[in-house]
Amino acid sequence: MSRKYFGTDGVRGVAGEPPLTPEFVLKLGQAAGAYFKSHDRRPVVLLGKDTRQSCDLLEAALAAGLMSQGVRVEHLGVLPTPGVAYLTKQLGATAGVMISASHNPYQDNGIKFFSAQGDKLPDEVELEIEKLLEQDLKTDGIGTVADFREAERMYLDFLASKGRSLEGLKIVLDTANGATYRLAHRLFQRLGAEVFVMFNTPDGRNINKGCGSTHPEFLKAQVVEMGYDLGVAFDGDGDRAILIDRQGREFHGDHVLYLNALVRREPGVVGTLMSNMGLEVKLREAGITFYRTAVGDRYVYEKLRASSLTLGGEQSGHILFLDHAPTGDGMLTAVLTLSAMLESGRDLVEWHDALPMFPQLLKNVRVRDKHALMQKPELHAAITQAEARLAGQGRINVRPSGTEPLVRVMVEGPAELIEGVSAEVVQLVQRLDEA
Known binding-site positions for Mg(2+): 102, 235, 237, 239
Distance separating alpha carbons of residues 400 and 290, to the nearest angstrom: 24
19 preceded by a cis bond (ω within 30 of 0): yes
4 DSSP assignment = S
Question: Vertex 106, ends 100 and 112: CA angle to 5°?
Answer: 15
Residue of 329, 296, 48 lying closest to 187 (CA atoms): 329
Residue of 73, 60, 63, 54 lying closest to 30 (CA atoms): 63
Query: Measured between alpha carbons, how far is residue 189 from residues 19, 66, 90, 227 in Å?
Result: 41, 38, 25, 18
Burial of 399 (C-beta count, 10 Å sphere; 0-12/13-18/19+):
middle
List residues with catalytic annotation: 102
Q: Where does residue 168 fall: left (phi above 0), alpha (psi -120 to 50 degrees), or beta otherwise? A: left
Give the 3-state DSSP-derived string for 179-231, with helices as H, strands as E and coil as C: CCCCCHHHHHHHCCCEEEEECCCCCCCCCCCCCCCCCCHHHHHHHHHHCCCEE
DSSP three-state, residue 330: helix
For residue 171, the cross-strand partners are 195, 230
Strand order of the sheet with strand 241-245?
194-198, 170-174, 230-234, 241-245, 250-251
Burial of 304 (C-beta count, 10 Å sphere; 0-12/13-18/19+):
buried
> What size, in residues, is the chain?
435
b/e sequence 234-267, b meaning 16+ C-beta within 10 Å: bbbbbbbbbbbbbebbbbbbbbbbbbbbbbbebe
| Count of C-beta atoms within a 10 Å radius of residue 206 | 18
